[in-house]
Amino acid sequence: MDQDTMRRREAQCIQEQPPFCQAACPIHVDARGMISAIRAQDFSTAFSIYNRTVPFPGIISRVCDHPCQKECKRQEAGSAIEIRLLEQAVAQYAGNSRRKIKKLPAKNKRMAVVGAGLSGLTAAFDLALKGYGVVLFEAGECLGGRLWGIGDGILSPEILLADVQAVVDAGVQVQLRTAIGEAGISLSSLCDEFDAVYIGIGPERAVNAAMGLELNSSGCIRVDSSTLAASIDKVFAGGGLRCPDGQYSPIQSVADGRSAAISIDRFLQGASLSAGRETEQTFTTKLYTNMEGHIPAYAVRPQSQNLYSLEEAVVEARRCIQCECMECVKKCEYLAHYGAYPKRYVREIHNNDSIVMGMRHANKMINSCSLCGLCETICPGRLNMGDVCLEARRSLVIKGKMPPSAHDFALRDMEFSNSEAFALTRHQPGYAASAYLFYPGCQLSASAPEHVEKLYAYLRERLPGGVGLMLGCCGAPAYWAGREDLSHLTQDSFAANWLAAGKPTVLTACPTCYRLLKDTITEVSIETIWTVLAQLGLPAGIQGTDTHQPLAIIDPCSAREETLLQETVRNIVKTKGFPIEETVLNRELAGCCGYGGLVSVANAEVAEKVAHKRAAESPHDYVSYCAMCRDIYAAQGKRSLHLLDLVFAADLEQAASRQGPSYSDRHENRARLKTKLLRELWQEKVPEGQEKLAVIIPPEVALLMESRMILAEDVQSVIEFAESTGKKLCDPKAGRFVAHYQPVSVTYWVEYGVDGSVFTVHNAYSHRMEIVGDVKR
């Protein structure tokens, strides 16, 4: 992922956009953060968050016209949060913990600020903090301008004076009773004496002070709305003079003073006045916040004199929904597992990918995504973390940095399925051509080989022109592992067999095969067995009854975009007499069971979390048309059926409570299916397998092996290797041997005992290191 792609993807995730209140606030008070602290009854932190942005907390918290509240998301479920009242409570209860004045080193430049209202005070204060020498001219008797007219009931003189003292403490030189304009100092003499001038006075006085500055149609000083630059070089103006029609906004005046200070600083440093200021004042946030599930709640009214008590403030703060997006994280256990959100993950994955040498810490994270793409469907910015992770996996593979342990097991499973042990392509017995080619897939053949046989028989009976059979794996494991080389080889091999079979229409039973083959071998005409069965009608004699309990449908993630397939499947369930329940992550939100993307191989913990959560989506029995989904939910203790169970199973009770086969049995079932079909259907002679050593694996060891993804055939290989080479360690006390064998990249260790010609396994484990040198007897 190059830098540009990373930035584009980061920008797709709007989780870090400010909440609606903060974007609407002209100075962007972090109201959400402040309210979060109030919720935790931490008024001191709440105040420091507030004071970080607000120069005069005592004043502003009392006089702010709170434009933030007009945009508060809470209005969609109740009324806006009383942000201004909460700020006042914070200033009241924690106002003695004002932030310390920290100034930048002094600069050799002097500013004149005209007017000691909120805008002039803010500009003077901010410029002083930036290290400039500031002289503040005020025509009146004291600092504060029109704030003195607000009234004691709202803003007491004590609070006002305490706040404006900050300006003096910051080192601003104050000149009271000094008018600027016709009645006092001329603007041109200020320009001569100072490096920049800010005029922050009300509209009435502004006209008098204009003195050569251009006026707008309302008769006020004309300024650039973003930079506040007036028509004379080095002069800036803002505050009350920008709202001549009586719509004075105290917080807008503060924002103008702040913007002017930024402009003046840029002006004196020769930087662009206008660049990158789009979000400096009020703007519309891109944040998305889902209001679903928020029960309407209305503002707390303060019992006494427009001031919340501590308790009232906490109750009001708890109404805040702490606006954020996190839509994908709420739905995806993988994203939730790593404790952040895609914008952060994209950066982490990019950094991981950019490392030339040394450790890559995000590999496990990259390999723990199902690659299901649900996040893209949910995300307002359409960010697909699956794409990000798949790309990163491919890059790790190409750079030789993909740990072999990550996908070794699944790739070997695929290799088995595409080996002589299982792979097969044949025309229907008695036919020299195939109009159709049934492709059951490796997982259905592993989980329910009897259904494959029955379905193939039914298709042969009902479809004209010959129905060939192709057994094998579609290459999904290689695709998910980022192994493009293997992926292409598998597709090429599929395409060659399909061509040799005369380009028949492929009928897939597995939705992942369907999607992968459709997407990667575009010339293949392909259908699912479900749409074909819907056209043919279900096998006779097992049509539905109307006495069944509802079944909760599980759409596999690979079928998310297949609306016809989803509908067809539901019709089949209904035809069989079952009422349908929908699960949470279904249809256009179809989610993964934890198998997709090889998560279960790379990160069993995440896979378990996914399966566990999904198994709890409905109290009803599940029915899925993906064999892995069915087996995974069954392993969670969830009664689950495969849709073919509804068609072919003699005993649905038994089918719903059946556990899926172990990894070893999956191999066994595939191999047996092939042998059986070759012998019974094609009347071919299949040689018996080589005689194997008699190996006993007790149930507790078999369970251990399953959790460690060790196959019976791996154990068999180790013992055979040890016994044929003598490379084994002997523990004479326990009367056992320990031996290892490395078929490809994983080394398997087996602890076993021997009784005559029978070998009993006591333990088995594996690791990814190579043993160099011989192990001596």
The edge-to-edge listing of strands for the beta sheet with 424-426 is 424-426, 467-471, 436-439, 505-508, 526-528
CB of 172 to ligand SF4, least distance (A): 33
Q: How many residues does the chain have?
A: 777
Q: Which H or E run includes 633?
A: helix 627-635
CA neighbours closer than 13 Å in the CB half-sphere of residue 668: 10
Residues 29-68 touching ligand SF4, rule: CB under 6 A, are 31-32, 35
CB of 303 to ligand SF4, least distance (A): 22
Question: CA 399, CA 405: separation in Å to the nearest integer?
Answer: 16
Residue with tokens 């975009």: 561
Residue among 7, 14, 131, 307 that touches ligand SF4 (CB under 6 A) = 14
Nearer to ligand SF4, 328 or 750 (CB): 328
Q: Does 671 bind ligand SF4 (CB under 6 A)?
A: no
Question: CA 98, CA 91: separation in Å to the nearest integer?
Answer: 9
Nearer to ligand SF4, 377 or 531 (CB): 377
Nearer to ligand SF4, 392 or 471 (CB): 392
Q: Which stretch binds ligand SF4 (CB under 6 A): 14-22, 235-243, 481-489, 707-715?
A: 14-22
SS3 11: helix
Q: Does 453 bind ligand SF4 (CB under 6 A)?
A: no
Residue among 9, 28, 62, 74 that touches ligand SF4 (CB under 6 A) = 74
Q: Which stretch binds ligand SF4 (CB under 6 A): 73-81, 192-200, 626-634, 642-650?
A: 73-81
Residue among 73, 350, 412, 613 that touches ligand SF4 (CB under 6 A) = 73
Nearer to ligand SF4, 605 or 755 (CB): 605
Q: Which stretch binds ligand SF4 (CB under 6 A): 45-53, 267-275, 326-334, 707-715?
A: 326-334
**According to the 3-state scheme, what is the secondary structure of 176-229?**
CCCCECCCCECHHHHHHHCCEEEECCCHHHHHHHCCCCCECCCCCECCCCCCCE
Q: Does 613 bind ligand SF4 (CB under 6 A)?
A: no
Can you read off the two tokens belonging to residue 523?
Answer: 């010339």
Nearer to ligand SF4, 172 or 610 (CB): 610
CB of 557 to ligand SF4, least distance (A): 7
Cα 34 to Cα 27, 46, 224, 264, 628, distances in angstroms: 14, 4, 33, 30, 47
Spell out, one character per residue from 79 to 98, where the chain touches ligand SF4: x when CB under 6 A holds, - when not: --x-x---------------
Spell out, one character per residue from 343 to 382, where the chain touches ligand SF4: x when CB under 6 A holds, - when not: x-------------------------xxxxxxx--xxxx-
Residue among 6, 15, 47, 126 that touches ligand SF4 (CB under 6 A) = 15
CB of 10 to ligand SF4, least distance (A): 10
Nearer to ligand SF4, 20 or 422 (CB): 20
Q: Does 695 bind ligand SF4 (CB under 6 A)?
A: no
- Of 731, 774, 725, 777, the closest CA to residue 754 belongs to 731
Q: Does 323 bind ligand SF4 (CB under 6 A)?
A: yes
Rg of the chain, C-alpha, whole Å: 37
- Of 176, 167, 171, the closest CA to residue 55 belongs to 167
Residues 101-160 touching ligand SF4, rule: CB under 6 A, are none
Q: Does 13 bind ligand SF4 (CB under 6 A)?
A: yes
- Of 269, 271, 210, the closest CA to residue 241 belongs to 210
How remote is the C-alpha of 119 from its chain's centroid? 42
Q: 292: alpha, beta or left, given left = phi > 0 and alpha = psi -120 to 50?
A: beta
Q: Does 317 bind ligand SF4 (CB under 6 A)?
A: no
Q: Does 418 bind ligand SF4 (CB under 6 A)?
A: no
Q: Does 328 bind ligand SF4 (CB under 6 A)?
A: yes
Question: CA 689, CA 692: separation in Å to the nearest integer?
Answer: 8
Residue among 125, 198, 248, 341 that touches ligand SF4 (CB under 6 A) = 341
Nearer to ligand SF4, 328 or 459 (CB): 328
* Binding residues for ligand SF4, total number by CB under 6 A: 44
Rounded to a whole number, what is the largest CA-CA distance in the chain? Answer: 117
Q: Could you give the angle at the alpha carbon of 109 between the alpha carbons of 107 and 114, nearest 5°?
A: 125
Cα 640 to Cα 417, 652, 662, 665, distances in angstroms: 25, 10, 17, 19
Nearer to ligand SF4, 344 or 672 (CB): 344
Q: Does 19 bind ligand SF4 (CB under 6 A)?
A: yes
Nearer to ligand SF4, 67 or 140 (CB): 67
How many Cβ atoms sit within 10 Å of the Cβ of residue 2? 10
Residue among 5, 97, 322, 571 that touches ligand SF4 (CB under 6 A) = 322
CA neighbours closer than 13 Å in the CB half-sphere of residue 420: 3
How remote is the C-alpha of 30 from its chain's centroid? 24
Q: Does 21 bind ligand SF4 (CB under 6 A)?
A: yes
Give every CB contact of residue 766 below 8 A, 6+ residues apart in sequence: 708, 709, 710, 714, 746, 747, 748, 749
Residues 568-597 touching ligand SF4, rule: CB under 6 A, are 592
Q: Which stretch binds ligand SF4 (CB under 6 A): 15-23, 139-147, 648-656, 731-739?
A: 15-23
Q: Provide the binding-site residues for ligand SF4, judged by CB under 6 A.
A: 13-15, 19-21, 31-32, 35, 72-74, 81, 83, 320-323, 325-329, 332, 334-335, 341-343, 369-375, 378-381, 383, 385-386, 592
